Amino acid sequence: MANLGEFEFIAQLLQGPAAQGQPFYRHPLALGIGDDAALIPPLGPQEQLAVASDMLIEGRHYFADCDPRSLGHKVLAVNLSDLAAMGARPLAFTLSAGLREIRRPWIESFLDGMLSLARESQCPLIGGDTTAVGEQAPEVFSVTALGVVQAGTALRRDGLRPGDDLWVSGHLGDAAFALAQKINDPKLNCPQPRLALGLGLVGLASAAIDISDGLQSELMHLLNGAQNRAAQPQRLQANLNWQKLPLGPLVKQAIQAGRLMPPQAAGIAITGGDEYELLFGASPRERIHLQALGEQLSLALTRIGSVDSSDRPVVCWRDASGQPPPEILQDMIARGGFRHF
Amino acid sequence: MANLGEFEFIAQLLQGPAAQGQPFYRHPLALGIGDDAALIPPLGPQEQLAVASDMLIEGRHYFADCDPRSLGHKVLAVNLSDLAAMGARPLAFTLSAGLREIRRPWIESFLDGMLSLARESQCPLIGGDTTAVGEQAPEVFSVTALGVVQAGTALRRDGLRPGDDLWVSGHLGDAAFALAQKINDPKLNCPQPRLALGLGLVGLASAAIDISDGLQSELMHLLNGAQNRAAQPQRLQANLNWQKLPLGPLVKQAIQAGRLMPPQAAGIAITGGDEYELLFGASPRERIHLQALGEQLSLALTRIGSVDSSDRPVVCWRDASGQPPPEILQDMIARGGFRHF
């Protein structure tokens, strides 16, 4: 049969790779897919549970004709990226899917992409829900990812201090540019959650966030976090050089080919969503450790600016000579990052 | 403004009842809504984590013109019902919502219904996601509920033993009848998750499941669970008297008014979904304890049958004189419970 019923689909999951002893952080599962709820064995006495949920909707976050294997990867990756931004180690995840129908080769590719990343990340699928949407309705995937972090060590959004450097992992701009140009690009299709980086930043970074909605928007979250924290709230200004942003190879090529001016490329890097890199703050004392961490992980870590005390939380872009950005870039920043509504 | 942006909506949640010290099982939250992930403090050394996810889709699980307060209640209730069926105590939950737009009075009523049940159940909202679906698309809500259970005590689906009684809580049929007749009924609109019953059944019940897809379907899950368990798998037959099912007041009224024949009413009770009562098995030795538990909780607990060894897992309905059900009821059972695809 080309189409499977819900219960057969669940039975297939039960007999599939999800159940066949995926590597699991420390313990085997107490109880996996198939009961009213999954059971996870007791954690360590100092381990906090980190919980993140993200929903992806067809036509909004991905196109109906996209590669199902990449989509399965991405649905899990965006949630693992949230765990990475907390410095948490993945524990397990649930998947709820609203589908028009269960198309066997499509769903198998989807699960293959999702469960490959799950295995790599030692984060087994432990349960969820499948339900039918209407024949004309967009499909929808909702994941909740669970992770663990030692109490008191999580990378929060609200820890920036005056004088901290601002850093970003990897490179920026390619995901948004690929989306706008309808180019198949691994950065857009198969984002790599920065889990090892997140774990490595514990004890080094003062604050961290993942770039899902755009660098500018995430910078504001960090500044607002510092302003609103309970202990020693501080108004901070971020000072950054738009010419020092690490641009992705796709965007760089477009500049070389004359299809993008450098300020436009920077605008894409500053406002583009779906990057899933980590933006983090750290004391200048940690520069040498962060350089070593980047080398150890073979991952570019770029110092893109710093924060100082201010009378209001504001992101201030300049060039190397201290001049404000050209108008085209100012316009792009003013239009802002991705907003869902 | 009638409509709020996503970030304003999240900010409203942050300042709303979700953040204002909702009663929380034992500890305050380490970190609530607003960061990349929520943080839950360490659990006890013998506490397992129970994880359940359910998704509700407009037009499939509820109607667009339904009461938003009831809907908010129900979206959480169906997930808490899964925790109840495990004998787990609620810990916290996440909500992901795909909305056409954020309509202020509607979403406030929705949250009011959801968070009232959350407070009653000591299960705070700790995070999630909001995203836009297309203008013509159905709205969708996805919840993941977390609970805790002492290691080794969870009420699983696979524990039935030959000779066990079969029990059901509350009454059956009203939810399915109200849905079919488009009647506003509390059983359909505001199901009460049987959390206190689930906790009370720990140590008494051999197996439990909540009735979301229909009694017949859930009975088969229990029989298949016993057949497929790792330790001492057993083929069991369920023997039940359809005339002894506890029917809801709406269905009883319909019988009295001559709008339903008793076998039709039983058919609705046997195949109707959305009941969110608990079906459980227990040794006959526990009858006196279960009677006391029902009295303590002011909740009807009805012994509807028993299980015996068999050559195949099968559900066998009879009447008081041992005769098979009338054809009309046999037909309803054969057509089966709710299937999503």
Phi, then psi, of B17 in degrees rounded to 5: -60, -25
Q: What is the pTM of this model?
A: 0.90
Q: Best interface-test mutation with A: which of B29, B53, B195, B202 has the largest number of A CBs within 10 A? A: B53
Out of 1.10.600.10, 3.40.190.10, 3.40.50.300, 3.90.650.10, the CATH code matching B165-332 is 3.90.650.10
pLDDT of A13 reads 59
| Chains A, B: CB pairs < 8 Å | 242
Judging contacts by C-beta atoms under 8 Å, the chain A residues touching residue B198 are none
Judged by CB atoms closer than 8 Å, whether chains meet at B55 and A147 is answered as: no
Would you say B147 and A37 are in contact if contact means Cβ atoms under 8 Å apart?
A: yes
CA-CA distance, B252 to A110, in Å (whole number)?
A: 47
User: What is the pLDDT confidence band of residue B11, given thresholds at 50, 70 and 90?
Assistant: low
- Report the interhelical angle of B104-120 vs B68-86 (nearest 10°): 30
> Is A312 an interface residue toward B (CB < 8 Å)?
no
Q: What proportions of chain A, in percent to the nearest 5, are helix, strand and coil?
A: 35, 25, 40
- The answer to whether the CB atoms of B85 and A37 lie below 8 A apart is yes
> What's the rounded Cα separation, in Å, for the pair B13 and B15?
5
Q: What is the pLDDT of residue B8?
A: 59
Architecture per CATH, domain A8-150, reads as 2-Layer Sandwich (3.30)
The answer to whether the complex's ipTM is over 0.90 is: no
pLDDT of residue A128: 85
- The CB density around residue A60, as the number of other CB atoms within 10 Å, is 17
Best interface-test mutation with B: which of A15, A53, A217 has the largest number of B CBs within 10 A? A53
Topology alike, domains A8-150 and A165-335: no
Which of A41, A134, A145 minimises the CB distance to B59? A134
Residue in A31, A82, A133 nearest the CB of B37: A82
Residues near A263 by Cβ (< 8 Å), separated by ≥ 6?
A242, A325, A326, A328, A329
Q: From CA A242, how far away is CA B138, in angstroms rounded? A: 41
Chain B CA closest to residue A148:
B39
For A165-335, CATH gives 3.90.650.10
The answer to whether the beta carbons of residues B48 and B113 sit under 8 Å apart is no
| Separation between Cα atoms, residue A301 and residue A280, nearest integer Å | 10
Report chain A residues whose CB lies below 8 A from the CB of B149.
Answer: 39
Residues 54-83 of A with CB under 8 A from B: 54-57, 59-61, 82-83
Instruction: Assess whether pLDDT exceeds 90 at residue B326.
Output: yes
The B residues from 198 to 257 touching A (CB cutoff 8 Å) are: 208-210
Q: Which sequence spans correspond to the domains of chain B?
A: 6-150, 165-332
Closest-CA residue to A151 (of A283, A80, A50): A50
For residue A320, give both structure tokens.
Answer: 């190397």
Both tokens of residue B13? 């949640």
Four-residue CA torsion sign, B214, B219, B221, B222: positive
Beta strands in A228-311 (DSSP E): 236-241, 278-282, 301-309
The pLDDT, as a whole number, for residue B21 is 46
Give pLDDT, residue A32: 67
Residue of B nearest to A276 (CA): B36
pLDDT at B98 over 90: yes
Interchain CB distance below 8 Å, B86 and A47: no
CATH class in words for B6-150: alpha beta
pLDDT band of B24, cuts 50, 70, 90: very low
Both tokens of B294, joined, read 């029902």
Please, what are the averages of pLDDT over each run of 10 residues along chain A (341 residues)? 50 52 48 78 89 93 90 96 96 92 86 91 88 89 96 94 98 93 88 98 98 94 93 96 97 96 96 95 98 98 97 94 94 69 43
B337 pLDDT more than 90: no
